[in-house]
Structures are given as structure tokens and as C-alpha cells.
Structure 1
Amino acid sequence: MSFGDPNNPYGQQQPYGQQPGGQQQGGQPGYGYPQQAPQGVPQQGYGYPQAPPVQGGYGFPGVPTEMPGGVKAARVMLYVIVGLQVIGAIIFALAAVAVNAARNDETLQEDVQFQQLADYSGNALWAIVAFAVLWGVFAVVLAAKFGKGGNALRITTIVFGVITAILGIYPFIVFGLVHTVLAILITVFVAKSDGGAWFNRQQPQH
């Protein structure tokens, strides 16, 4: 008796465990054991699909999860500028106090030209003190927001760096040379591609 082609799903099926000749198969798996998949068909463990490749931070590929080294350096330099602003404010405040004391000197009170110069210098020095304090506060705010700031903070920091570099050249060349160097480095590090990737990254949703 012929059972037809065993590979034909519409043909008559042969009894379990027998080959077309009626002989018992040897070494075949028992009940409940999975059969070997046909050749050419990809196999997956226990029917589960393979896991997708690991992506970048927050589920977006290429998104940095840690602040780049250049951005970290720029933030440190901002804090250094803050310290220099404090030192400069103290120096200019002492100079303003000295000029005011000279104005009150009895031997110089009748010198009109000196009094005018002292008055102008004192006002200018106090204005510089106020600017130094405000600029230092601005630098603190920028540095504190580096962890969560977006592209607007990046642009603001670049503008801050450019203005600081210019002021370091003129009119504060004597006290501003270090400011100029730091400001240029801050601008370069923040404007680099890794800095752009950090500030333009997708922010986590809270």
C-alpha cells in the first residue's frame, strides 16, 4: 500500500513513526519535542523576536547621554570668569574708595580740575564695579544651566563669550587678557559639533 508523497500536504498521510516502507523511524524525537526547521528558514529562540539594537540616550540614536568634555571645560571656565569678576569688582571698588578719599583731602579740595577728574573717575569706577558683579552673575546662571539647557542657552553662551573677549581687549586690556583667552575657549568649545549635539539633544519628559 502506498501513502503517496510524504512531502505533499494533500496526499494520504502515513502512520506516525513509520517511513514509507512501513518501518519504524530511528532516532526521531518523541512527543512534545520541536521538529527541526526546514533549511533556509531563519530560526529564533522560542518564538520571540530578536531585540532591536541599543539606541542612544532617551531612545534617540546618536544622542549624547553625558556632557562632552569640551562642554564641561567651558562650564569650568565660566566659573573661573566668575571668580575673576569678583576679584576685579573688589579692586575697582577699592580704587573708587581711594578716589573718594582723595577728593575729601583738604589740600586737593580747591583743585577744580582734580575734583572734576576724581568725580568722573569715581563714578566710572563704581559703574565698572556694578558691571563686573552683574556680568559675574550672568556667567553663574549660564554655567548652572549647562546640564539641562537647550540651543538657546548655547547661543547665549556664544554671545557671552564673544562680548567678553572683546571687552577683554578693550577697554579692560590690563585686567581682561585672561578673560579674553577664557572667553575664546568657551566660544569654541560650545560652538563645536559635540557641543551642538549636547545642547540640541532631546530633553527627558518629566
Structure 2
Amino acid sequence: MSFGDQNNPYGQPQQPAPGYGYPQQGAAPGQPYAPYPQAQAGYHAPYGAPLAPLEMPGSAKTARVMLYVIAGLHVIIAGLCFSMVAVFKKAAEETNGETFTNRNGETVDADTIFNTSKGVVGFLAVLALVFAVLGIVLAVRYAKGGNGVRIGSIVYASFGIISGFATVAVFGLGLATLVLSILVIVFAAKQPTTQWFRRPRH
């Protein structure tokens, strides 16, 4: 059988042999391969890096809200402490140098007691305000901060637990601070929160 002169430009073109040219199984020309799988929406993984969220996950948002609440509670605690300072100051002014005897039979100056109490409570009030400011700073940094913000939140919440124990007997707000601080540690330690703070930044 003759297939024609291969050098004849007017001859019938030859058909490619099976197994050559376009892939079999009905693949269309220009599409010899299946498309590459796309990354999940909202995630990217350059060069095999672990998937990193492009939007703050729910666990991080929850921890952030709780930090704001803890900071607000400490503002209230500071206000209550300052009001107690005013009470001690007024009491010291009304004693007029009076003295009384304690359980051990010792004579105690009332002015000294009230002034000492005023100083201690005033220090606690200032400390509560500082603690509130730190909580707000950490919460604000959740949007753009790195892993240090997450670690700082855990440390902050650890001190919040101590603060809750210290004020639970004096103010009912201490119990709320204690519970929220524990929850901040739980949500800050979750894997989605960790991935959020360790995400690549461009």
C-alpha cells in the first residue's frame, strides 16, 4: 500500500500513529493535563508552608473580646478603689488624732491606719488602671501583631487569674475576671489562633 510521496506538498497528509501526539481518552487538543488543584478560599500556602488564615479566626476574635472585657472590669475595679480612697481620707480627717486599742492590747493611731489603708488601696487602683491599659493594647494588636501578642495575652491572663483571686473576696467582679482570664488562655492556645499570629506578613 502506498502512502504517497512524503515530499509531495499536494499529497494527502499523514495521520499520526496511535500513541503519539495528543493524549488518548478523548482529551482535547491544548488540554493534555488536568488543571492544578486550587488552594482553599481564604488560605495560601507558598512553597509547602502550612496553611495560614487570611481572616482572623473565631478563637482569636473571642480571646480579643474577652481582653476588652477584662480591661473594662479593671477600670471598674480601679474606680471602686479610688472611691474607697476617698472614704479612708474622709475617715482620717474625722478621727482628730484619736487612738484605740487593738486585740493585742496595743495602742494604735487611727490616722496611721486610715492613711496606710488609703495608700494601699490607691496603689491597687493605679495597678488596676495599668492592667486595663495593657489589656486594651494587646486586644488592639490582635489585628496586625505577631506571635508575641498571643504569648503576651497568655501571660496577661495568668496575672488576670491572680487578680481575680485577689479581688473575688472584695468585689464580685473578681470572679468574672478569673473566669474570663482562664478562657483567654484557652482560646489563645488554640491552633487557629496560633496560625493567625504566625501567618506570613508581606
Please give the range of the TM-score, normalised by the shorter of the 2 chains.
0.7 to 0.9
Identity of aligned residues (%): 39
CA-to-partner distance for each residue in 1:153-194, whole Å, 9 max, x for gaps?
11111011111112211x222331111100000010001111
- Partner of 1:199 in structure 2? 197
Of residues 126, 129, 133, the one that matches 2:125 is: 129
In the alignment, structure 1 segments of 5+ residues that lack a partner are 5-10, 21-35
CA-to-partner distance for each residue in 1:49-88, whole Å, 9 max, x for gaps?
9456236545545111111111111111111112111111
Q: How does 1:1-206 map to 2 (within 5 A)?
A: 2-3=2-3, 12=6, 16=10, 18=12, 37=22, 39=24, 43=28, 45=30, 50=35, 53-54=38-39, 57=43, 60=46, 62-105=51-94, 107-111=95-99, 112-169=108-165, 171-174=166-169, 175=171, 176-203=174-201, 205=202
User: Which one has a bigger Cα radius of gyration?
Assistant: 1
TM-score for the superposition, normalised by structure 1? 0.75
Q: Which deviates further from its counterpart, 137-146 or 82-91?
A: 82-91
Number of equivalences: 182
Matched to 1:186, the amino acid is V
Is the contact between residue 82 and residue 125 of structure 2 (CA under 8 Å) also seen in structure 1? yes
Quick one: distance in 2 between partners of 1:75 and 1:191?
13
4+ runs deviating over 3 angstroms: 11-20, 40-52, 55-61
Quick one: distance in 2 between partners of 1:195 and 1:85?
25
In the alignment, structure 2 segments of 5+ residues that lack a partner are 15-20, 100-107
Q: Report 1 or 2 for greater relative contact order, CA contacts < 8 Å, sequence distance ≥ 6.
A: 2
TM-score for the superposition, normalised by structure 2? 0.77
Quick one: distance in 2 between partners of 1:100 and 1:57?
59
Is the contact between residue 57 and residue 193 of structure 2 (CA under 8 Å) also seen in structure 1? yes
1:18 deviates by 3.9
SS at match of 1:147: coil
RMSD: 3.1
SS at match of 1:53: coil
Matched to 1:75, the amino acid is R
